[in-house]
Structure 1
Amino acid sequence: MNSTIYTTPPSHPSSLFPNITLCKTIKHLKQVHAHMIKTAQIHDPLAAAEVLRFCALSNNRDIHYARKVFDQMHQPNCFSWNTIIRALAESNDDGKPLAALLLFFQMVCDASVDPNQFTFPSVLKACAQTSRLKEGMQVHGLVVKYGLDSDEFVVSNLVRMYVMCGVMKDAHLLFIRNLIEFEEGDEVVRNNKKKEEGNVVLWNVMVDGYVMLGSLVLGEFGAARELFDSMPQRSVVSWNVMISGYAQNGLFKEAIEMFREMQMGDVCPNYVTLISVLPAISRFGALELGKWVHLYAEKNGIEIDDVLGSALVDMYSKCGSIEKALQVFERLPRKNAITWSTIIGGLAMHGRANDALDYFSRMERSGVTPSDVTYIGVLSACSHAGLVDEGRSFFSHMVKAVGFEPRIEHYGCMVDLLGRAGHLEEAEELILNMPIKPDDVIWKALLGACKIHGNIEMGRRVAKVLMDMVPHDSGSYVALSNMYASSGNWEAVADVRLMMKEMDIRKDPGCSWIELDGEIHEFLVDDDSHSRAKEIHSMLDEIANQLRLIGYRPDTSQVLLNLDEEEKESALQYHSEKIAVAFGLICTSPHTPLLIVKNLRICEDCHSSMKLISKIYKRKIVIRDRKRFHHFEHGSCSCKDYW
């Protein structure tokens, strides 16, 4: 290897061995190692430690080789022990963290070298990863024995160990004790800004612990938020923990609010922040905020790799801008199975089945192997477009040619595909012959198909299965009640409603929301709580009059209540998506597209009305309901009335 001039300080071990420093691969390192063995230079503890450091901790690490190097060391120093323990503790391979613990206990038993403040963080991390509380408590005792229980880095890892082992009480006690010691320290320490900044790590660990606990017990999110609000200083990690915690547990509104609050402070979002908040933005269809995130990444040099790229594609797809999703996808420098599956799923959601299947073919031609998630998107595309034969063919190919074991989601797509197309008996037979136990989602898909096609007999049978499976879920009761109502059987409707009342089961209210000027406005059915409610109701009346002028009459068969005709018409007028559209019309300039997100499936009357409203007001109206997107423009819908 050529010699070179190096600038590393002479006191640093690596400066003594530039041939190791210049290694680019493990293969190069092995050549240097062999030369050191041949020349007996390897007996120098510093030389051996540098070889170990490279193969254990460099970007080209080889932990198996590192372990061999360590085992051949005659009397490894503390640095070498710390290096191999850290490498094992940080490995994602099964068994390596446990090996780190065993090696640490060997270090303690040999007693030739005492552990120091750099040893314990790795050991505690290994305890946390393996959930070994008993061993972690023993390590805690050693921390105290060696007088390191005031070292911030060690204490932070101690607290994290208790957090990861689910012992929040002990973690909290240790956290409080550390804060008290800090506050009661001498004047120099109390006024040391660096000490305060270092403490933010400990706060982050505790907040993260309460967030994780909140994933199991929802009420604990309050404890996490209270602790977060009490932090004397917050790092980007502090914000990321809260944003991702909210988003991953379905508290999407709180995640977005936290992200907005972050922007008002002096901490800038980073790559992890964007990855964390994009799912929440997707859930609410907050397109403008999603665009801001995309622009922020570009302006601040945050790499839009396959992970962030997939999140952006998903966001644009779910926020109604499938064209922008396609643009982001095409610009990605690298595409993997996740990015391909995301765009295929997005196209399926927008009813662009042929495009979804074309992208699937492109994916195969590009050499990327489709995953089982990819096939969910393909089958979903077939379902939304009524491509029954194609769906059957893809399902068969996935099982017989590719060799994937179908997941519950694949069966769900097939039941949905067959049910929508009216093949109810085939769908039911598929459910009954599945090798895995069907869940309530699959039975709900069949129940929905029974409602669409008016098969009350099968619907009653399926509803009974669901009532036994999920007795407090309102979906099956409401669907059965609606089927009875559509056939005019009000006595049966009353029986179902009475059953719901006795069991205290309440129907989920229809809810729609629209984002305007960065703010999300939510509306329920017959909602008059908005500050501009009078204007909204006035616009709803105008819309109703405009619809009557062109001969449209409300489809009162969609009102599944025993009301007179006038009351039914009034009920239809105040569906949540109509209120959201009316609000959008009065708040935006002419020709501005409107995006509405709805928690339930859009009803037939609203669907028919939206087609005409788009024509009357010359607006593109995009509605994302529970199942898919509807693009209303010039009096027609992208779904071609098949949904």
Structure 2
Amino acid sequence: MNSSVIYIPNSTNSIPTHPSSLFPQVSKCKSIRHLTQLHASFIKTGQIHDPLAAAEILRFSSLSDYREIDYAYKVFRRMHRPNCFSWNTIIRAFAENGEDEKAIMGILLFCEMLDHGFVRPNMFTFPSVLKACAETGRVEEGKQVHGMVVKFGLDGDEFVISNLMRMYAVCGVMEDTNSLFCKNIVEDVSRVIDGKKEESNIVLWNVMVDGYVRQGSFNQARKLFDEMPQRSVVSWNVMISGYAQNGNFKEAIDMFYEMQMGELPPNYVTLVSVLPAISRLGALEVGKWVHLYAEKNGIEIDDVLGSALIDMYSKCGSIEKAIQVFGRIPRKNVITWSAMIGGLALHGRAIEALDCFQRMNQAGIKPSDVVYIGVLSACSHAGLVQEGRELFNHMINVVGLEPRIEHYGCMVDLLGRAGFLKEAEEFIMNMPVKPDDVIWKALLGACKMHQNVEMGKRVAKKLMGMTPHDSGSYVGLSNLYASLGNWEAVAGVRLKMREMDIRKDPGCSWIELDGAIHEFVVEDEFHPQAKEIHSMLEEISEKLRLLDYRPNTTQVLLNMDEEDKESALHYHSEKIAVAFGLISTSPGTPLRIVKNLRVCEDCHASMKLISKIYKRRIVVRDRKRFHHFKNGLCSCNDYW
């Protein structure tokens, strides 16, 4: 008999019932405080000695929305000979807690259950134990549990087997996962029901696909996905989230499109999974469709989906829409506030970001370390040095948060941009944690910006020692020499890069039109409309010349004559993307460009004039922030 189902003695019809139906007052509790009051009442009246009453108190404190695992554990320890339902409840509570220490406790409780010998584990016990093994990466213990599964004759139960496979997959033991998969799929297919072969267990297929995705083996995952006899929404979600989380953003969106062509509609998890990919590619029109789909299909835009939408709109250049979504979320948590503050920071709206931070504090929500990254970044983009110093000290001395490497990086970036190079270097030297390459690169970039060669050489040397094959330090030092016209030094750095086979990341920009992503690289000639794009670039150059604009050839970090330098600037990837946008959209349509590197000074100055000449709003997201060009001005006020 299933231990979670109880039969009422002397019942004439022997209808099984559940403890919650015998003690409905427990389920009606609205907080753990209400539960403790009811618990006290049960103790006072003696009802707590009824094992069903104690089991229901345990269930609520372990697994409800108001769970409190320490309280549940105390309840469990006071139970006399708990039955299998109670053991399963407390093991599951610890296994699903999300903390390694708690999950290990779940495994230990399972061992204790076996040692007591009063209760035999059942099909509901093993999945929780296996989950705990998976969460903590304890594959050896998982193998021992596997042996117990066989011993108790549950190796034919699909629910147990799927969790066993998931444990092996999460722990990276795909050979054992595949062995179980093949064995059970063959057995499953061979079953015959009413003269027909039963469909293979879709859960096992999903676990197998997920295992390959976790390993980054996307070719194998996709091959298996394509072979599936049938797919569930989970099947699609595994592939979409896997692609998105591993940087395959275009593949994630393509998979999302493919899903829409089938019979299974996207669900809440699908939308949350695909939005980060949309954000990274700046695919605003796709993001708008996702938002509209959620609203039309009654999918609740809660704090999680709402935060993902805020992040998407922010990173796709539509900060006003992000603010609208934020305003409509009824229950805001620290993640929601963090998304909004980070979005405002990305767009250089520092005062609004700081105001948002203030309102969050007034709402009684304690800021997280991620929130502080957002406000410090906002200060950096706007040159608010004193405000940044005060926030950093407030985080440590008032809120009591320990700075992460990202916070130190924000401070170095803040000080470096503002020209406080000596203070930035001293800040790095006095950090209690070892600075990473990102921090040193921030200082190297500031050295180029403020043309401090001596410090730049020291910083570059440190970087080359830390990451000898990373192009960033070499390119940074080369750019610093080039900005000062020291071509001999540039040649020396470039020669060393060639000797070490170190290649610079090529500039790349992309623009979304009608849901399609168009990608361009420097001097791109492979687009189907390359001829028309080239003509538009010539037109842009001519109109810029009529305004007496001269290309800023100091941004060409190669030793060549002025004419060649002007030509090189002419074909930067973001300019090609803008030219394509101008010929492909109607007058007045805003253009949104995403670039993988920082926008150069010449392109920045050009974009301001192009926005004025063509009466277009041009939004460019570079590696660091957004630039909103309109009527000859930029939102960054030329501080970036």
Calculate the TM-score normalised by the size of structure 2.
0.91
Q: 1:526 to 1:433 in 2, by over 3 A?
A: same
SS of aligned partner of 2:46: helix
Please report how far the alpha carbon of residue 99 of structure 1 lies from its aligned counterpart in structure 2 after TM superposition: 4.0
1:398-450 CA distances to partner (integer Å, 9 max, x unpaired)? 33343433322222222222222222222222212222211111111111111
Please report how far the alpha carbon of residue 603 of structure 1 lies from its aligned counterpart in structure 2 after TM superposition: 0.9
1:450 aligns with 2:447: yes
1: CA distance, partners of 2:61 / 2:327? 38
Alignment match, 2:6: none
1:249 aligns with 2:251: no
Q: 1:61 to 1:277 in 2, by over 3 A?
A: same
Alignment match, 1:538: 535
2: CA distance, partners of 1:228 / 1:24? 43
Counterpart of 1:316 (choices 299, 305, 313) is 313
1: CA distance, partners of 2:343 / 2:575? 25
Please report how far the alpha carbon of residue 131 of structure 1 lies from its aligned counterpart in structure 2 after TM superposition: 3.2
Q: 1:429 to 1:16 in 2, by over 3 A?
A: closer
Alignment match, 2:291: 294
1:586 aligns with 2:590: no
Alignment match, 1:268: 265
1:317-363 CA distances to partner (integer Å, 9 max, x unpaired)? 11111111111112221222222222222212212222222222222
Alignment match, 1:6: none
2: CA distance, partners of 1:293 / 1:182? 37
2: CA distance, partners of 1:286 / 1:97? 39
Instruction: Choose 125-134 or 529-538, whichever is displaced more.
Output: 125-134
SS of aligned partner of 1:563: coil
Alignment match, 2:18: 14
Please report how far the alpha carbon of residue 57 of structure 1 lies from its aligned counterpart in structure 2 after TM superposition: 4.3
Please report how far the alpha carbon of residue 79 of structure 1 lies from its aligned counterpart in structure 2 after TM superposition: 4.1
1: CA distance, partners of 2:306 / 2:173? 37
2: CA distance, partners of 1:242 / 1:603? 37
Amino acid at match of 1:382: C
Q: Please tell me whether the aligned partners of residues 278 and 284 of structure 2 are also in contact (alpha carbons under 8 angstroms).
A: yes
Alignment match, 2:360: 363
Alignment match, 1:213: 215
Please report how far the alpha carbon of residue 606 of structure 1 lies from its aligned counterpart in structure 2 after TM superposition: 0.8
2: CA distance, partners of 1:637 / 1:580? 18
Alignment match, 2:39: 30
Counterpart of 1:336 (choices 330, 333, 345) is 333
Alignment match, 1:464: 461
Please report how far the alpha carbon of residue 58 of structure 1 lies from its aligned counterpart in structure 2 after TM superposition: 4.5
Alignment match, 1:415: 412
Please report how far the alpha carbon of residue 384 of structure 1 lies from its aligned counterpart in structure 2 after TM superposition: 1.4
Alignment match, 1:5: none
Q: 1:556 to 1:101 in 2, by over 3 A?
A: closer
Amino acid at match of 2:161: V
Alignment match, 2:483: 486
Instruction: Choose 10-19 or 417-426, whichever is displaced more.
Output: 10-19
1:600-624 CA distances to partner (integer Å, 9 max, x unpaired)? 1111111111111111111000111
Amino acid at match of 1:439: D
SS of aligned partner of 1:307: helix
2: CA distance, partners of 1:173 / 1:621? 55
Alignment match, 2:166: 160
Amino acid at match of 1:86: R
Structure 1: 5+ residue runs without aligned partners?
Answer: 1-8, 215-219
Counterpart of 2:544 (choices 542, 547, 551) is 547
Instruction: Choose 48-57 or 132-141, whichever is displaced more.
Output: 48-57
Alignment match, 2:142: 136
SS of aligned partner of 1:597: strand
2: CA distance, partners of 1:16 / 1:559? 73
1: CA distance, partners of 2:578 / 2:437? 33
Residues 343-362 of structure 1 mapped to structure 2, 5 A cutoff: 343-362=340-359
Please report how far the alpha carbon of residue 176 of structure 1 lies from its aligned counterpart in structure 2 after TM superposition: 0.8
Instruction: Choose 455-464 or 73-82, whichever is displaced more.
Output: 73-82
Amino acid at match of 2:233: V
Q: 1:303 to 1:613 in 2, by over 3 A?
A: same
Please report how far the alpha carbon of residue 17 of structure 1 lies from its aligned counterpart in structure 2 after TM superposition: 5.4
1:259 aligns with 2:256: yes
1: CA distance, partners of 2:78 / 2:213? 44
Please report how far the alpha carbon of residue 523 of structure 1 lies from its aligned counterpart in structure 2 after TM superposition: 0.2
Instruction: Choose 152-161 or 85-94, whichever is displaced more.
Output: 85-94
SS of aligned partner of 1:523: strand
2: CA distance, partners of 1:80 / 1:397? 46
2: CA distance, partners of 1:301 / 1:16? 30
1:7-65 CA distances to partner (integer Å, 9 max, x unpaired)? xx961223895444664222465267447736xx945x666655655555455555556
Alignment match, 1:234: 231
Q: 1:96 to 1:398 in 2, by over 3 A?
A: closer
2: CA distance, partners of 1:67 / 1:458? 58
Please report how far the alpha carbon of residue 148 of structure 1 lies from its aligned counterpart in structure 2 after TM superposition: 2.4
1: CA distance, partners of 2:178 / 2:576? 48
Amino acid at match of 1:211: V
1:348-382 CA distances to partner (integer Å, 9 max, x unpaired)? 22122222222222222222222232222222222
2: CA distance, partners of 1:71 / 1:405? 36
Please report how far the alpha carbon of residue 245 of structure 1 lies from its aligned counterpart in structure 2 after TM superposition: 1.7
Instruction: Choose 498-507 or 120-129, whichever is displaced more.
Output: 120-129
Instruction: Choose 482-491 or 577-586, whichever is displaced more.
Output: 482-491
Amino acid at match of 2:259: M
2: CA distance, partners of 1:266 / 1:455? 61
Q: Please tell me whether the aligned partners of residues 447 and 455 of structure 2 are also in contact (alpha carbons under 8 angstroms).
A: yes
Amino acid at match of 2:630: E
Instruction: Choose 286-295 or 235-244, whichever is displaced more.
Output: 235-244
Amino acid at match of 1:445: A
Q: 1:621 to 1:188 in 2, by over 3 A?
A: same
Alignment match, 2:8: none
Q: 1:353 to 1:189 in 2, by over 3 A?
A: farther
How many residues were matched structurally?
Answer: 623
1: CA distance, partners of 2:77 / 2:156? 33
Amino acid at match of 1:333: P
Alignment match, 1:505: 502
SS of aligned partner of 1:494: helix
1: CA distance, partners of 2:592 / 2:558? 29
Please report how far the alpha carbon of residue 237 of structure 1 lies from its aligned counterpart in structure 2 after TM superposition: 1.4
Please report how far the alpha carbon of residue 491 of structure 1 lies from its aligned counterpart in structure 2 after TM superposition: 1.6
1:599 aligns with 2:596: yes
Q: 1:314 to 1:55 in 2, by over 3 A?
A: closer
Instruction: Choose 554-563 or 127-136, whichever is displaced more.
Output: 127-136
2: CA distance, partners of 1:65 / 1:249? 39
Amino acid at match of 2:262: G
Q: 1:599 to 1:29 in 2, by over 3 A?
A: same
Alignment match, 2:9: none
Q: Please tell me whether the aligned partners of residues 20 and 50 of structure 1 are also in contact (alpha carbons under 8 angstroms).
A: no
Q: Please tell me whether the aligned partners of residues 92 and 128 of structure 2 are also in contact (alpha carbons under 8 angstroms).
A: yes
Q: 1:485 to 1:47 in 2, by over 3 A?
A: closer
Q: 1:53 to 1:449 in 2, by over 3 A?
A: closer
SS of aligned partner of 2:627: strand
2: CA distance, partners of 1:590 / 1:500? 45
Alignment match, 1:204: 206
Q: Please tell me whether the aligned partners of residues 13 and 46 of structure 1 are also in contact (alpha carbons under 8 angstroms).
A: no
Amino acid at match of 1:182: D
2: CA distance, partners of 1:83 / 1:241? 28
Please report how far the alpha carbon of residue 472 of structure 1 lies from its aligned counterpart in structure 2 after TM superposition: 1.0
Q: Please tell me whether the aligned partners of residues 240 and 273 of structure 1 are also in contact (alpha carbons under 8 angstroms).
A: yes
Alignment match, 1:126: 132
Q: 1:434 to 1:549 in 2, by over 3 A?
A: same
Q: Please tell me whether the aligned partners of residues 282 and 316 of structure 2 are also in contact (alpha carbons under 8 angstroms).
A: yes
Counterpart of 1:576 (choices 573, 589, 592) is 573
